């Protein structure tokens, strides 16, 4: 069953940033279809403690599941549980992170990539193997480490 928070997040992620223009108090969560991650004038974007904690939790979940997914050993229920766990962390980010507007816009691009991976992993994109969703999330997490300042962040070794 899809939670109301996830539905609200999904809706927010599909809205263009201009929807929130003029309302700086709103926490803008959007991922433009063609937006690309960029650095902050050549430097990584600042993060806050809630974002770092949630990303550490997502990383732990995905790093644990990836070898099993790659070897075809995860059950549909395990893929669904992974999706639920990662969605819970994304909800936490939406509710708790306080980034600058530009850093916030960048994290939304990344969250959109992660959510696409969740859709694949949980079987919502029927034309793709669920394991590819776990790999997509892992790739997004590795991008997080390239674009966001998170001390001691460790990339996830991807299968060949």
Question: Tens digit of pLDDT for each residue in 1-30?
Answer: 444 444 444 444 444 333 333 333 334 344
Q: Mean of the pLDDT values across residues 66-92?
A: 97
Residue 7 lies in a domain: no
Q: Are 126 and 32 in contact (CB under 8 A)?
A: no
User: Percentage of the chain with pLDDT > 90?
Assistant: 76
Amino acid 34: pLDDT = 61
Residue 27 lies in a domain: no
Residue 40 falls in which region: left (phi positive, over 0), alpha (psi -120 to 50) or beta: beta
Residue 126 lies in a domain: yes
Q: Has residue 52 got a pLDDT over 90?
A: yes
Residue 141 lies in a domain: yes
Residue 16 lies in a domain: no
Q: Has residue 87 got a pLDDT over 80?
A: yes
Residue 19 lies in a domain: no
Residue 2 lies in a domain: no
- Residues with Cβ within 8 Å of 19's Cβ and at least 6 positions away in sequence, in order, are 30
Residue 30 lies in a domain: no
Amino acid 134: pLDDT = 98
**How many domains does the chain contain in total?**
1
Rounded to an integer, what distance in angstroms lies between the CA atom of residue 55 and that of residue 150?
Answer: 9
Q: Which domain holds residue 117?
A: 44-160
């Amino acid at each position: 069953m899809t939670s109301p928070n996830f539905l609200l997040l999904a809706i927010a992620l599909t809205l263009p940033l201009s929807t929130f223009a003029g309302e700086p108090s709103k926490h803008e969560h959007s991922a433009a279809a063609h937006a690309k991650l960029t650095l902050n004038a050549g430097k990584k974007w600042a993060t806050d403690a809630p974002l770092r904690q949630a990303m550490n939790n997502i990383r732990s979940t995905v790093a644990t599941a990836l070898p099993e997914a790659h070897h075809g050993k995860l059950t549909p229920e395990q893929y669904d549980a992974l999706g639920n766990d990662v969605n819970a962390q994304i909800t936490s980010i939406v509710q708790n992170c306080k980034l600058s507007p530009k850093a916030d816009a960048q994290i939304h691009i990344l969250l959109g990539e992660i959510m696409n991976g969740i859709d694949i992993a949980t079987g919502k994109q029927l034309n793709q193997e669920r394991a590819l969703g776990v790999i997509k999330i892992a790739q997004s997490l590795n991008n997080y480490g390239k674009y966001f300042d998170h001390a001691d962040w460790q990339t996830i070794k991807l299968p060949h």
